[in-house]
Structure 1
Amino acid sequence: MKVEIYSDIACPWCYLGKRRFEQALDRFPGKADVEVVYRPYQLVPDAPASASPHRAWLADRYGPQSVAMDDRVTELGRAEGVAFDFDTALHVNTFLGHRLLHLAETEYGAPAQSRLKELLLKAHFSDGVDVGDRAELTELAVAAGLDRDRAAGYLAGEEGAAEVRARLAEARELGISAVPTFVFEGRWAVQGGQEADTFLRVLEQVAADTAAESAAPAEAHGCTDGACAV
């Protein structure tokens, strides 16, 4: 089973969704046969390349309610073992990070990409790291198991940029407008950082449906705009 997770590095619900999905996957009997890959999505594609305080940016965008928004996510994070620190978090463009995730997947494999994704999310939300800084990204790449020289050279140029832009366009074409969005087998989509129990039920249902289809002629599924409800 292939699961493609469309998410952004600067998305707290993507962090929560990742943690909850992994909890479900650990409980799923068919875990060994599940391939998980991360697809790029940018909530703020026009974010600046220079970092600024997250709190100030969010207040400017959402007003007084921004503090309550952060507080709610922080409380939910505690239950999942995620330590959000929005006082030190930085608002910055995430395109470079998505390029690095593309490198991890294509040259090191899905497990390395997943390790890097976790490190990027933690760096951004817990450690106050500027995930738009090439030097910081290189260190995270090395921690995830990527070669230092390869990562640094890759980030210094434009390699992978066209591929990531194509993936971002693909997400729009699929009708994805919010993240995280989990796409199972390229056909079924589940949106949001659902509870682990919900993800487990989805995994079980997709596994059952695909097993049934392998034993009988496939039937048409009612899907529109590239997304299907489970």
Structure 2
Amino acid sequence: MNKPLTILNKPVVKIDVVSDVVCPWCYIGKRRLEKALNELSSEYDFEIEYHPFELNPNMPASGANHREYLIEKFGSEDRYEQITGQTAQVAAAEGLNFNFSEKSISPNTRKAHAIAQLAKEKGLQLNIVESLFKAYFTEGLNLADDKNLVAVAVKAGLNQDEVEQLLKDENALVQIALHEQEMYKLGISGVPFYIINNKYGVSGAQASETFVKVLRDVGQEIAAANACDVDGKNC
């Protein structure tokens, strides 16, 4: 009786992640969340779904020069160097390799989000999201180029013909915009944002320890709601 108990039918915690593929803190937050999920894997099961959010929905389809775009956004070249350098250091502490110097284009990300939604239908969304983040931040791939998007998607498990047809489907892009409107209606104005069990919101790339605490609190709440009292009441 000294062995730890194996929990059968573990409580399931639903996590909706709102993010953008060009958001560095979304990738950092992804790693921090994954560390928390790994720590809690013996106690709970997790259901994760990614939702689209474009940091710049008005970005041209062909994208913009990455360095020039961010220098203008941050206000100066010095500020650009400072922010990207600090972000890369934080990413490195989470085991991520950010190569800002490798990126030439800041893309419009609506097509990337459409691919992620297609992947959800195939049970491959987590693979695709990780692949898109890695392609952009580590490999410096131009995600404004359809050929690159197709290559990333196919390597992550999607069918090439389906992805190519998707990228030609204007309705699929409209659906992404509509999905984003739903996020705005929830009051989400920045990413990453995490919705836990359709009830609690967590904003920003929190530390793994913070995710552990929040998820454990929610998991215990779920377990309590599904439990019976000793006397058989509240069943």
TM-score category of the 2 structures, normalised to the smaller one: 0.7 to 0.9
Closer/same/farther in 2, CA of residues 31 and 192 from structure 1, 3 Å limit? farther
Q: 1:210 to 1:156 in 2, by over 3 A?
A: same
Structure 1 segments (4+ residues) deviating >4 Å: none
Pairwise CA distance, 1:51:
3.0
Contact 1:3 1:184 in 2 (8 A): yes
Amino acid at match of 2:91: G
User: What is the aligned-residue RMSD (CA, Å)?
Assistant: 1.5
Q: Could you say what secondary structure the match of 1:55 adopts?
A: helix
Task: Give the match for residue 226 of structure 1.
Answer: none
Q: Provide, for residues 1-34 of structure 1, a one-character-per-residue CA deviation record: whole Å limited to 9, x for no partner.
A: 2100000011000000001101111111357621
- 1:84 alignment partner, one of 95, 98, 104: 98
Mark the runs of 5 or more structure 2 residues left unpaired by the alignment: 1-12, 229-235
Percent identity, aligned pairs only?
35
The separation in 2 between residues aligned to 1:30 and 1:160, in whole angstroms, is: 38
Superposed CA offset, 1:42-99 (max 9, x none):
1111111113332211111112222211111000011111111111222111000001
Alignment coverage as a number of residue pairs: 213
Task: Please point out which of 207, 215, 220 is paired with 1:203.
Answer: 215
Q: Residue 44 of structure 2 contacts residue 219 of structure 2 at CA under 8 Å; is this kept in 1?
A: no
Structure 1 position 97 matched with structure 2 position 112: yes
Q: Could you tell me which amino acid in structure 2 is paired with residue 37 of structure 1?
A: E
Q: 8 Å contact 1:84–1:126 — kept in the other structure? A: yes
Q: Is the contact between residue 5 and residue 183 of structure 1 (CA under 8 Å) also seen in structure 2?
A: yes
Residue type of the partner of 2:154? V
In structure 2, the residue matched to 1:129 is: 141
Instruction: Indicate the SS of the match to 1:160.
Output: helix
- 1:167, distance to aligned residue in structure 2 (A): 1.2
What residue number does 1:163 align with? 175
Which segments of 5 or more consecutive residues in structure 1 lack a partner in the other structure? Answer: 217-230
Q: Which residue of 2 aligns with 1:222?
A: none
Per-residue CA deviations over 1:160-189 (Å, capped at 9, x if unaligned) read 223212210011000001100010111101
Confirm whether residue 74 of structure 1 aligns to residue 91 of structure 2: no
Offset of 1:138 from its aligned partner?
A: 0.7
- Counterpart of 1:203 in structure 2: which amino acid? L
